[in-house]
Structure 1
């Protein structure tokens, strides 16, 4: 009898832990895949409306990277901003949003990659890294979302 109870409790514990960690592993997995995809495009030129390796705009890079990771996102920074959960503390894979004059509607989106850096497609440099405290981007930052 004691053996049956122990086996039953062990099974319940394993199922509970598996389902709890499964969601975290899945989230970490697609964030990691999106970052890896974006990094593979470093140096790709900026192209307004671009959504492929021949050229990206900011939201095109984010949409492309997350699509390769199995997540479908809207096309524009403003529409992507309507998705996900607002976060204050950034984790790898979170989306950072920027807007001139701190307007509520973002015009630029990037993927946070850790170590106070993000990857994005900028009109001046194409797909590239920038630091979160960058003198150009920091004043335009309006918030982050976790998809």
Structure 2
């Protein structure tokens, strides 16, 4: 009998014995490199061990979530940096803003292009029921959008509201709003 055939026959006998042993106890870490033992360790355990050994190998979902969180942080840092800048009708920054100009300017600085007007911005976002920090807040009257700001959590927003009032954080003052998420 050839050496290859005898090794194959030995493995055919060893695999069932190892398989039954692995049902009662996990494979020792010292044998993790053995291909026979590795085949018997459940894939979930291998994945868990792999992620523990290589934390930089995050899942695509984790990476997307982390990227979104960083964008929200940049959105909020950017809008806060405009606090105190004056409201000027039609202004789109960097030293004066109207409501949609502020939103457009902030999102442009985090790599997202939005249209210029609040109603066009409403059409460019995905409506959401449960807003998250960084989502847009659209104010409506008679079915028309008349104002927009950036949701800051706890029923507040950052916005450029009207002449004489600088960019600031305020409470949302009405229930005639809906929320949109920039895609």
Partner SS state of residue 119, structure 1: strand
Q: Give the number of the structure whose alpha-carbon radius of gyration is greater.
A: 2
The root-mean-square deviation of aligned C-alpha atoms, in Å, is 2.5
In the alignment, is residue 60 of structure 1 matched against residue 101 of structure 2?
yes
Question: Aligned-pair distance for 1:54?
Answer: 2.0
The count of residues paired between Structure 1 and Structure 2 equals 139
* Higher RCO (CA 8 Å, separation ≥ 6 residues): 1
Alignment of 1:73-112 (within 5 A): 73-99=114-140, 102-112=141-151
Question: Aligned-pair distance for 1:84?
Answer: 2.2
Contact 1:104 1:142 in 2 (8 A): no
* Residue number in structure 2 paired with 1:144: 179
In the alignment, is residue 116 of structure 1 matched against residue 151 of structure 2?
no
Q: Deviations over 1:23-64 (max 9, x none)?
A: 222222212211111111111000111111221000110011
Structure 2: runs of 5 or more not aligned = 1-34
Counterparts in 2 of 1:32 and 1:57: CA distance versus 1, 3 Å? same
Q: Deviations over 1:66-88 (max 9, x none)?
A: 11111111111011101222111
Alpha-carbon distance in structure 2 between the residues aligned to 1:82 and 1:17: 34
Counterparts in 2 of 1:103 and 1:27: CA distance versus 1, 3 Å? farther
Alpha-carbon distance in structure 2 between the residues aligned to 1:104 and 1:120: 21
Contact 2:94 2:105 in 1 (8 A): no
- TM-score, normalised to structure 1, is 0.82
- TM-score, normalised to structure 2, is 0.67
Alpha-carbon distance in structure 2 between the residues aligned to 1:35 and 1:110: 12
Partner SS state of residue 152, structure 2: strand
Structure 1: runs of 5 or more not aligned = none
Counterparts in 2 of 1:131 and 1:19: CA distance versus 1, 3 Å? same
Alpha-carbon distance in structure 2 between the residues aligned to 1:84 and 1:26: 18
